Each structure stands twice: as structure tokens, then as C-alpha cells.
A and B are shown apart, each in its own frame.
Chain A
Amino acid sequence: MEIGKKLKDARAKSGLTQEQVAEKLLVSRQTISNWENERSYPDIVSVIRLSDLYSVSLDQLLKGDAKMMEHLEESTDIVKSNRHLISAIVLNIVVLLALILLTAAFPTNVYVVVCLFSLSVIGVAFLLYQIVKRI
């Protein structure tokens, strides 16, 4: 069973309306509806609060729902995001070194410079995006 249906059943069993749950969790009623209809997924803190509110275990809410587990894994995987940031930094260092070496080797070749410029633009944009992702 997916988490949306579990949340809906648990809410019905505890006799609460979506408005009441929204008030207790300090979210909008639309958010509760989105979670129950699986248009979006709650974050881990909201899942814990919902399990307390409905008096159901986290096991019951989370296990068996592959999509929910994927969502939680993505939102809490700091190692993966560090890896992307490090690869962005390394890419930029490599392009900078290539720029220095190749322009020294081919000083009159405009294409080399411009190709490396294009690569460095892409590298810097990627690095900036990785930094912004950490906000």
C-alpha cells in the first residue's frame, strides 16, 4: 500500500479532518490533500509528526512504499550532493590546467582557447548550481 492511502486511512481512523491535521502540523489543508493523493510526499519530520498524531508506527507508514523511500533517500543524501560539488570543483581545476597548458603549447590557435573557454563556462555554471543547491 502506498503512503498516501495509509495516511488517509490513519486519519480516518483517528477521526480527524484534513483541516485539523493541517492546523496541528502548521501546513495548509492543500498540503495534507497532496500527501494523501500522492501529488507530493511529506518530508521525514512531517512523517514523524503524522505518525505521532495518528498513533501509528513509522514502520507502518514507510515500509513497502518504494517511491517514498526514494524521495527520503534523495532529500537526505548529503554524501551524494558532496560528491557532485567535489566533481564540479575538480572539473573546473582540470579545465583551468588544460587552458594553461594548451594555450602555452598552441599560442596562436584561437579554436583551442575558445573551446576551453566554452568548457570553462559550462564548468563554472555547473559549479555555481552545485553551490546554490546547498542553500
Chain B
Amino acid sequence: MELLILQAAGIIGAAAVIVGAGFCTWQLYQLIRTDAACRGLKHPGLWGVIGAGGNQSSGVLLYLIGRRNHPVVSVSPEQKQEMNKRKKKIAIGLIFIAAGAICCIWSFLPIYGLVPAV
């Protein structure tokens, strides 16, 4: 019974990681696309794909390096508000991923006999 509960917790944790990762990737794509458009960069959609892909952090760093010489041309308060909302959503997504990964690893330990089950 305990093992079943642990398995369920592990699967839910894994699901949280996958859903969180997908959600974060989408929000990041939209955020970078909007930012690139505000800076007058060509192909903002492509920058969105580059930024959101590449294990998330390396893509974002690549975008931050690429946009260095492109200051903001024009950004409306609505766009700024939208970007701030997306950053908050990314934070929520990251919490999901972190919580899911931790839940996953802790629940699979007893299942694989690495620690005694409670």
C-alpha cells in the first residue's frame, strides 16, 4: 500500500516536471518574442525559439548576449505588463518543476530499495 502511494507520488512529481517544463517553455518563448519585437530585432519568433530552447538557461543567455546592441525601441505599458505577468508565470512553472523533481526523487528512493520504506 505504501509503495503504491509512493509510486503515485513519484508519477505526480514527474507529471508536474513535464507540465511545468512545457508551461515555462511556452511562457519564455512568448516573453522573448515580445522583448525582441520591442527591440526591433529581426525575426522575433526565431529569437523566441532560440531563447526557449537550448535547455532554457543557455538559450536565454544566448538571447541576452544577442540583444546587447539593441536597446528598446518602443514598448507600450500593456506590453510591459504582459512581460511582467509572463515572468511571474515562469516563476510558478519553475516552482512546479522544482517541487515535482524533489517529490519524484524522494518517492522513488524506497521503491528501488535505496532507503527502507517507512
Query: Which A residues lie at the B interface, using CB under 8 A?
Result: 26-28, 31, 40, 42-43, 46, 110-111, 114, 117-118, 121-122, 125, 127-129, 131-135
B28 contacts which of A27, A40, A46, A132 (Cβ < 8 Å)? A132
Query: Which B residues lie at the A interface, using CB under 8 A?
Result: 28, 31-32, 35, 51, 56-57, 60-61, 63-64, 74, 76-78, 80-81, 83, 87, 90-91, 94-95, 97-98, 101-102, 105-106, 109, 114-115
Per the bound structure, the CA–CA distance linking A132 and B27 in Å amounts to 11
In the complex, the answer to whether B77 meets A31 with C-beta atoms within 8 Å is yes
Closest to A111 in B: B115
Per the bound structure, the CA–CA distance linking A26 and B76 in Å amounts to 7
B83 CB to closest chain A CB (Å) equals: 7
A24 CB to closest chain B CB (Å) equals: 13
- Which of A42, A111, A117, A129 has the most chain B CB atoms closer than 10 A to its own CB? A129
In the complex, the answer to whether A135 meets B35 with C-beta atoms within 8 Å is yes
Counted as pairs of residues, one from A and one from B, with CB atoms less than 8 Å apart, the total is: 64
16 more A-B residue pairs beyond the given contacts A27-B78, A40-B81, A135-B64, with a C-beta to C-beta distance below 8 A: A31-B76, A40-B77, A110-B109, A110-B114, A111-B115, A117-B105, A118-B105, A121-B98, A121-B101, A122-B102, A125-B95, A127-B57, A128-B60, A129-B94, A131-B57, A135-B83
B109 CB contacts on chain A under 8 angstroms: 110, 114
In the complex, the answer to whether B80 meets A43 with C-beta atoms within 8 Å is yes
In the complex, the answer to whether B106 meets A114 with C-beta atoms within 8 Å is yes
In the complex, the answer to whether B35 meets A128 with C-beta atoms within 8 Å is no
Closest to B98 in A: A125
B105 contacts which of A114, A127, A131 (Cβ < 8 Å)? A114
- Which of A129, A131, A135 has the most chain B CB atoms closer than 10 A to its own CB? A135
In the complex, the answer to whether A46 meets B77 with C-beta atoms within 8 Å is yes
A132 contacts which of B60, B78, B98 (Cβ < 8 Å)? B60
